[in-house]
Amino acid sequence: GQQLNQSPQSMFIQEGEDVSMNCTSSSIFNTWLWYKQDPGEGPVLLIALYKAGELTSNGRLTAQFGITRKDSFLNISASIPSDVGIYFCAGQKGGAGSYQLTFGKGTKLSVIP
Amino acid sequence: DGGITQSPKYLFRKEGQNVTLSCEQNLNHDAMYWYRQDPGQGLRLIYYSQIVNDFQKGDIAEGYSVSREKKESFPLTVTSAQKNPTAFYLCASSAGTGGNQPQHFGDGTRLSIL
């Protein structure tokens, strides 16, 4: 099955720095989701985006639904140690078969205190 | 407290053995899903169910089977036909299958071969 192109694959940043990651696809998606996964745990939904161009915040997290519907971005401001984990993007096409999510391979974030 | 419960947390399978992973949700969600996660990879869909007594194959259904006899339960059986079963298995559910009904995940079951 198709997978999204998520980058970067991993990041090492200093505490307090801002972080940016993105997902791109050759296909159009009508919903973009961002999840965070801690080791040995299931992914937790951070932000859901339902409209092209939409910019949504959740605390220090901000995500945008690309205007072309083929990409999405997640920014984390003023990173803290508990931001460590793997961040996944997921796209949902909508319409027939709208249930199916296509996942990126994840961005592993490490925060240096 | 509402949520998705997967059990066991860790499971070991012997060669030629079938094993069943449990997934229970008390969110009153109609749709449930099983994913497989391998190191450094995104999640891949094994099976999904939109409603009780109905389920469909995902991208990697070979070697797996499911049932959906109750709304709150969606067990996954890893059969002996699955030759590479070692992975982290995640169950998810959503209120429906529409675009504005995101999937929420359980905490996973890690399956290993003895």
φ, ψ for residue A4, nearest 5 deg: -80, 155
Q: Which residues of B touch A30 (CB under 8 A)?
A: 99
Provide the pLDDT for residue A94. 72
pLDDT at B1 over 60: no
B/e letters for A64-73, b = 16+ CB within 10 Å, e = fewer, are bbbeebbbbb
The answer for residues whose C-beta is within 8 angstroms of residue B104's C-beta and 6 or more apart is: A45, B4, B27, B92, B93, B94
Q: Which of A33, A45, A100 sits opposite B45 (nearest CB)?
A: A100
Provide the pLDDT for residue B51. 92
Identify the closest residue of chain B to A92 by CA–CA distance.
B99
Question: With a CB-CB cutoff of 8 Å, which residues 49-108 of chain A face chain B?
Answer: 50, 88, 90, 92, 94, 98-101, 103-106
Provide the pLDDT for residue B15. 84
**Residue with token string 């990173």:** A79
Provide the pLDDT for residue A2. 61
A14 at B interface, C-beta within 8 A: no
The two beta strands, A55-58 and A61-65, are antiparallel
Q: Could you give the C-alpha distances from A13 to A79, A88, A108, in angstroms and in order?
A: 8, 18, 11
Provide the pLDDT for residue B90. 97
pLDDT at B10 over 90: yes
Identify the closest residue of chain B to A45 by CA–CA distance.
B104
CA dihedral sign, ordered B32, B36, B41, B44: negative
Q: Which of A42, A45, A98 sits opposite B99 (nearest CB)?
A: A98
- The series of mean pLDDT values per 10 residues for chain A, 113 residues long, is 85 96 94 94 95 95 96 97 96 73 94 91
- pLDDT tens column, B12-58: 988 889 999 999 999 999 999 999 999 878 899 999 999 999 999 99
Q: What is the mean pLDDT of residues B62-75?
A: 97
- Residues A98 and B97: beta-carbon distance below 8 Å: yes
Q: What is the mean pLDDT of residues B48-73?
A: 95
B5 at A interface, C-beta within 8 A: no
Q: Which residues pair with A45 in a beta bridge?
A: A35
pLDDT at B9 over 90: yes
Identify the closest residue of chain A to B94 by CA–CA distance.
A99
CA-to-CA distance for A32 and A44, rounded, in angstroms? 14
Q: What is the mean pLDDT of residues B82-106?
A: 89
